[in-house]
């Protein structure tokens, strides 16, 4: 409605007279257009539209109208045509509103795409308007950023004007130094992975979310696994693997699998006693068999079974 500079005035509930003229127009069209075309066959949509246009023109030109020697079209030309405004020059486009919080890398996430905003807005919640192929960001009613809508999921759309000019003022912001420092606490291989993640981006801030996700995988006693996974990724032995969050995640799964299936080095045969245990010394098994009758395969020979049966 705003696009066409109009407003809708809905009818009240249970007040049929509020829309009496509309209902009457529906009845007139039904009788003079729909019923008139009953049984008529058209060879195409153009022929059908031409028939409907001719019938509607007949309704608008019919005289008399409401007991006066005039027509609907004459009244429209006399009272309404001159007060109508022109249609907008641009067609209407669907508008969608969203809310998003500005991350420490001064980007917001909308439909799995990251869009930059001025870094001063880090931590604030902003309004996002999507109209056609344009995305606008508003803070307190003021537009602070405009971007072309991206169609590829996971990409970053960054305006260089939004990057902090003075990186000395980094309160509340993610920085390359911060992630490198945190990665060094885990190990040199993890720091190398974070360094390569940042180096692959033309704008370092576009790598910060991936850096954060990698470091988060080292929480809860997983630091040794993360460091080993990163060591394998950056190892110069064999083919060099590309560094990414997904690569680190998959390598950590491989490290866990290798750890769980690795032999312990214990030879079970050396732990078994060389002589038959006595009743006073329990057998080191999971079950208590001190009161059980123990015997080998010879106990089930035909000779022993015959002796037992004759006893």
Distance CA 115, CA 145 (A): 9
- Please count the structural domains in the chain: 3
Domain-located, residue 284: no
Angle at 62 between CA 58 and CA 67, to 5 degrees: 160
Question: In terms of Cα–Cα distance, which of 276, 302, 301 is closest to 289?
Answer: 276
pTM score: 0.53
Long-range contacts of 25-30 (CB under 8 A, 24+ apart): 28/59, 29/56, 29/59
Choose the final residue of a domain: 139, 162, 185.
162
Q: Is there a single domain that holds both residue 112 and residue 158? A: yes
Q: Is there a single domain that holds both residue 74 and residue 134? A: no
Domain-located, residue 244: yes
Q: Which residues contact 20 (CB under 8 A, 6 or more apart)?
A: none
Domain-located, residue 287: no
Question: What is the residue range of 117's domain?
Answer: 95-162
Domain-located, residue 125: yes
Q: What is the CATH number of the domain that holds 112?
A: 2.40.50
Question: In terms of Cα–Cα distance, which of 176, 174, 180, 182 is closest to 223?
Answer: 182
Domain-located, residue 14: no
Q: Is there a single domain that holds both residue 32 and residue 53? A: yes
Give Cα 159 distance to the centre of its chain.
Answer: 22
pLDDT in 10s for each residue of the chain, 311 residues: 778 888 888 888 888 888 888 888 999 999 999 999 998 899 999 999 999 999 999 999 999 988 889 999 999 999 999 999 888 988 888 889 999 999 998 999 999 999 999 988 999 999 999 998 999 999 999 999 999 999 899 899 999 888 877 654 555 678 888 899 999 999 999 999 999 999 988 888 889 999 999 999 998 889 999 999 999 998 877 667 789 999 999 999 999 998 887 665 555 444 445 555 555 555 555 566 565 555 666 766 667 766 655 54
């Amino acid at each position: 409605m705003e696009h066409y500079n109009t407003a809708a005035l809905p009818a009240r509930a249970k007040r049929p007279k509020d829309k009496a003229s509309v209902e009457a127009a529906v009845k007139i069209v039904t009788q003079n257009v729909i019923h008139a075309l009953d049984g008529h066959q058209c060879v195409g949509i153009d022929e059908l539209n031409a028939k409907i246009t001719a019938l509607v023109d007949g309704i608008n030109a019919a005289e008399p109208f409401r007991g006066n020697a005039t027509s609907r079209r004459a009244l429209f030309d006399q009272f309404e045509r001159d007060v109508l405004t022109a249609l907008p020059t641009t067609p209407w486009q669907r508008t969608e509103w969203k809310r998003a919080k500005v991350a420490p890398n001064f980007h917001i996430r909308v439909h799995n795409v990251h869009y930059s905003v001025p870094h001063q807005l880090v931590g604030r919640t902003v309004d996002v308007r999507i109209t056609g192929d344009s995305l606008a960001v508003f803070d307190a009613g003021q537009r602070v950023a405009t971007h072309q809508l991206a169609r590829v999921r996971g990409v970053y759309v960054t305006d260089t004007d939004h990057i902090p000019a003075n990186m000395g003022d980094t309160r509340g912001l993610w920085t390359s130094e911060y992630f490198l420092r945190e990665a060094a606490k885990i190990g040199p291989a993890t720091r190398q992975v974070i360094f390569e993640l940042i180096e692959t981006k033309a704008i370092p801030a576009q790598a910060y979310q991936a850096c954060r996700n990698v470091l988060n995988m080292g929480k809860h006693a997983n630091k040794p696994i993360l460091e080993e996974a990163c060591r394998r990724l950056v190892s110069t032995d064999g083919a060099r693997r590309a560094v990414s969050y997904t690569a680190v995640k998959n390598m950590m799964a491989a490290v866990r699998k290798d750890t769980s299936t690795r032999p312990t080095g214990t030879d079970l045969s050396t732990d078994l006693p060389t002589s038959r245990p006595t009743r006073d010394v329990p057998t080191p098994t999971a079950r208590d068999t001190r009161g059980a009758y123990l015997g080998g395969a010879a106990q089930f020979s035909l000779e022993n079974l015959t002796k037992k049966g004759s006893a």
